[in-house]
Chain A
Amino acid sequence: MILHILTKAPDSRAATQMQQALGNQDSVLLIEEAVTAALNPAWAAWQKYRSRIFLLSEDLTSRGLTHIAAKHQLPTMDVDDFVALTEQYEKTVTWY
């Protein structure tokens, strides 16, 4: 089980490569530029990894995307939850 951290936008090479490497039990945390995924509720990853993909709320707030993420009912977590998630996953891989 791996926690994948994506730091680049959903249309980036990093995002594509992360999805190629993603296992059935892996989770995804979207941070930095990757939180722009909140703008696109039609992004295939939202459905495909449902209940195991999250946006980092601090990075949404700093970019003015909190309300948009809420309107699209996308799951968020704060940095404390981020640490909690790393407690559950022995391995993490960052895609940048």
Chain B
Amino acid sequence: MQYGLLVMGAPYSSPAPHSALRFAHAIITRGHQLAGVFFYHDGVHNASSLMAPPQDELNLREAWLELHQYHDVALDVCIAAALRRGLMSESEALRHGKQAFNIVSPFELTGLGQLLELQHRSDRFITFA
């Protein structure tokens, strides 16, 4: 089956990203495909390349990155939710006149249309918030 996940909890404030990652690996272990993960609300912070947790804590962004690298999972970040929380790609930083950026590939800034598209495309769609 094709699964899609919606993650709306922030890293290191909510257990939702950990629950979602654990579920993502369990899906794949059972032989399903994970079509994509959509980050919305405070979940957009999962995509920040500037997160620097202490070494004895899991770097959640890197955990998502591995999911992309080994299982080709699309990582989409809601652009409106990201921009208002100070998360942006290099091109958005240029557009908004900011000196730094913290969203890099394979995380993609995208519209909410992608969330609806993922929900339609997936046989199963699970929210972690």
Contacts and interface: CB of A to CB of B under 8 A. Distances in A.
Interface stretch (A17-25, A64-72, A79-87): A79-87
A94 interface: yes
Contacts of A79: 22-23, 26
Interface string B41-66: 00000000000000000000000000
A7 B129 contact: yes
Interface in B1-56: 1, 3, 8-9, 15-16, 19, 22-23, 26-27, 29-30, 32
A83 B30 contact: yes
Interface residues of B, number: 21
Contact of B126 (A59, A80, A92): A92
B105 interface: no
B128 A94 contact: yes
Q: Which of A59, A79, A86 has the most CB of B within 10 A?
A: A86
Interface of B: 1, 3, 8-9, 15-16, 19, 22-23, 26-27, 29-30, 32, 123-129
Given A79-B26, A94-B127, A96-B16, 16 more contacts: A5-B127, A7-B15, A7-B129, A33-B15, A79-B23, A82-B23, A83-B23, A83-B26, A83-B27, A83-B32, A84-B30, A87-B124, A92-B126, A92-B127, A94-B128, A96-B8
Q: Give the 7 A-B residue pairs with the shortest CB-CB distance, closest first.
A: A94-B127, A96-B129, A79-B26, A83-B26, A32-B15, A83-B30, A86-B124
